[in-house]
């Protein structure tokens, strides 16, 4: 049974098969940290993301990428296990090479050379906690299959 505090009017989205889709989007991605202050400095100052929330007594801060919120949390202080993310969050940039040089000048270390997949450029690095990130730029149109 739904609690009135956790219900709201639902937006209905149809799938390609004409059925109703339960999930309507992604609200945020949690990024674990052991040190909220250091992580906040990295995401805010080093990467230049706008900080929209900072509540250290609740063990989290949020940063806006333009289309996705990164919720930096200290899971251990929330009763959860800290698990570093090894699946890179792809951060869109207009020029991977220029963005990489700018971040390298700020002390960010990258893994390997810029990778060209044939449709996009990627450059891999990690935050101070070891969470995987990448700079990403798609230069060919995205094609999808239903």
Q: Sorting pLDDT into bands at 50, 70 and 90, what band is 34?
A: very high
26-138 topology per CATH: 2,3-Dihydroxybiphenyl 1,2-Dioxygenase; domain 1 (3.10.180)
Alpha-carbon dihedral 41, 43, 48, 52, rounded to 10 degrees? -90
Which H helix or E strand runs over 1? none
Which one, of 103, 98, 87, 144, lies nearest residue 121 by Cα?
98
The whole-chain average pLDDT of the chain stands at 91
Quick one: how far is CA 27 from the chain centroid?
11
Query: Residues near 31 by Cβ (< 8 Å), separated by ≥ 6?
Result: 39, 43, 70, 71, 72, 73, 85, 89, 127, 131
pLDDT number for residue 10: 56
**Cβ atoms of 29 and 67 closer than 8 Å:** no
Segment 5-20, tens digit of pLDDT: 555 565 666 666 778 8
Question: What are residue 71's DSSP bridge partners?
Answer: 30, 62
Segment 20-29 mean pLDDT? 92
Segment 73-128, tens digit of pLDDT: 999 999 999 999 999 999 999 999 999 999 999 999 999 999 999 999 999 999 99
Could you tell me the residue ranges of all domains in the chain?
A: 26-138
Q: pTM (2 decimals)?
A: 0.84
pLDDT number for residue 12: 61
């Amino acid at each position: 049974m739904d609690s009135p505090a956790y219900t709201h009017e639902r937006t209905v989205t149809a799938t390609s098969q004409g059925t109703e889709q339960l999930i309507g989007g992604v609200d945020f991605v949690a990024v674990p940290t052991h040190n909220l202050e250091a992580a906040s400095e990295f995401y805010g100052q080093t990467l230049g993301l706008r900080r929209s929330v900072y509540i250290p007594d609740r063990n989290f801060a949020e940063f806006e990428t333009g289309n996705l919120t990164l919720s930096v949390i200290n899971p251990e202080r929330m009763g959860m296990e800290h698990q570093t993310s090894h699946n890179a969050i792809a951060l869109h940039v207009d020029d991977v090479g220029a963005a990489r040089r700018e971040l390298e000048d700020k002390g960010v270390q990258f893994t390997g050379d810029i990778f060209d997949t044939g449709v996009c450029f990627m450059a891999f690095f990690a935050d101070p906690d070891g969470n995987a990130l990448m700079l990403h730029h798609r230069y060919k149109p995205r094609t999808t299959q239903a």
